[in-house]
Amino acid sequence: MTRTTSKTVNRRQFIGAGTALASAIGIPALAQDTKYPSRTITLVVPFPAGGAVDTAGRAIGERLSRVMNQTVIIDNKGGAGGAIGSTFVARAKPDGYTLVVTSQSSHVANPSFSANLPYDAVKDFTPITLIERLPNVLLINPSLPVKTIEEFVAYAKKNPGKLNYASSGNGSMLHLNMELLKSQYGIFLTHIPYRVAGTALTDLMSGQVHAMFTNVQASNVGYVNQGKLRALAVASPSRSDVLPNVPTFGELKQPDLNLTSWTGLAAPAGTPEAIVNQLYAAMRTVLQDPTTVAAWQKRGSIIPEAVTPSEYRQEISNRIAFYKKLIKANNLSAD
């Protein structure tokens, strides 16, 4: 499998321009149409190498290549919160040979904040299914004198304007999810946007920022276990296997905050139904394989339920509507 990496581009610059794992897994091959796939499939990851979306894309690409008996290459086209790579796929020939790893950044946050994207997150794609669901976690610097979400909320209310939070940038999902938390609990924290989530996490550990809403990942869990960060709550259907002592927002009677993030697979709009069905079947084979289940569990993600193409399209639409309402109610901006 090969990859290419494009230069990362600022989200606002791009939108403005638009308007003017393991290789030896034992997954059985799937019976296929004789015409598809007959050549290499390109899986576009609309983010730079190394992040959560890239990890998901590489894991699924390796497995799809085995199931479909065809090479799947990874093409990193990062920039603008996933908009560059997503636009590339939206404009590609709808023949099943150019696919994209969708994420909430590219297919929820971007369209929620901007009506001027070069692509329509719903109309310009044919969703296939989810790759994974990603629990989110509220992390704080352990120097704060709180150990529970209730204590954190009480402390924030007693100290208005003194707490801040980090995100991976204005208009990112980390920004949106923390604003949702603020709204649900009626607290105020100053937003400190970063360009890179890793840098934000480093500053959180050093105490330069106080809180951050982010995905549950192995590195984050390691920092929690080492006492460098404190986890207060996770957004997950049930407690995370890697953070078993941390309550879910569902347990805390905050269902709106209990939304997982996700990554998924999509093709350009107009992709023939037979190819879509074949890709969906291949993904179900991949996701039900024990090696996939074990790999997803190890990195803290959740094997998704069977989400059909039409159900995935509806979930994208519902999430966009949900966050647009939040943005309007709180006068948020991606600038």
Contact 214, 136 (CB under 8 A): yes
CB atoms within 10 A of CB 219: 11
Burial 70-94 (b: 16+ CB within 10 A, else e): bebebbbbbbbbbbbbbbbbbebeb
Is it the case that residue 9 has pLDDT exceeding 70? no
Contact 43, 57 (CB under 8 A): yes
Domain spans in the chain, listed from the N-terminal domain onward: 11-133+261-330, 136-257
Query: Looking at residues 12-34, what average pLDDT do you find?
Result: 46
Residue 152: band (very low, low, confident or very high) from pLDDT cuts 50, 70, 90:
very high
Structure confidence by residue, pLDDT tens digits, 163-195? 999 998 999 999 999 999 999 999 999 999 998
270: region left, alpha or beta (phi > 0 left; psi from -120 to 50 alpha): left
Nearest to 288 by CA among 26, 21, 24: 26
Structure confidence by residue, pLDDT tens digits, 122-138? 999 999 999 999 999 99
190: region left, alpha or beta (phi > 0 left; psi from -120 to 50 alpha): beta
Q: Does domain 11-133+261-330 have CATH number 3.40.190.150?
A: yes
pLDDT score recorded for residue 335: 74
Nearest to 212 by CA among 166, 150, 156, 260: 166
- The letter for the amino acid at 3 is R
Query: Looking at residues 85-89, what average pLDDT do you find?
Result: 98
Gap between the Cα atoms of 85 and 335, Å rounded: 21
Percent above pLDDT 70 for the chain: 89
Query: Looking at residues 279-295, what average pLDDT do you find?
Result: 97
Classify residue 15 by its DSSP letter: H
Assign domain 136-257 to its CATH architecture.
Answer: 3-Layer(aba) Sandwich (3.40)
Topology match between the domains 11-133+261-330 and 136-257: yes
Residue 12: band (very low, low, confident or very high) from pLDDT cuts 50, 70, 90:
low
Is it the case that residue 37 has pLDDT exceeding 80? yes
Distances (CA, A) of 72 to 43, 59, 85, 89: 7, 11, 17, 15
Structure confidence by residue, pLDDT tens digits, 215-271? 887 668 899 999 999 999 999 999 998 899 999 999 999 999 999 999 999 999 999
Query: Looking at residues 307-319, what average pLDDT do you find?
Result: 97
Q: Six-digit token pair at 103?
A: 């994420």
Query: Looking at residues 274-286, what average pLDDT do you find?
Result: 98
Gap between the Cα atoms of 151 and 174, Å rounded: 22
The secondary structure element, H or E, covering residue 190 is strand 190-193
pLDDT score recorded for residue 299: 82
Is it the case that residue 312 has pLDDT exceeding 80? yes
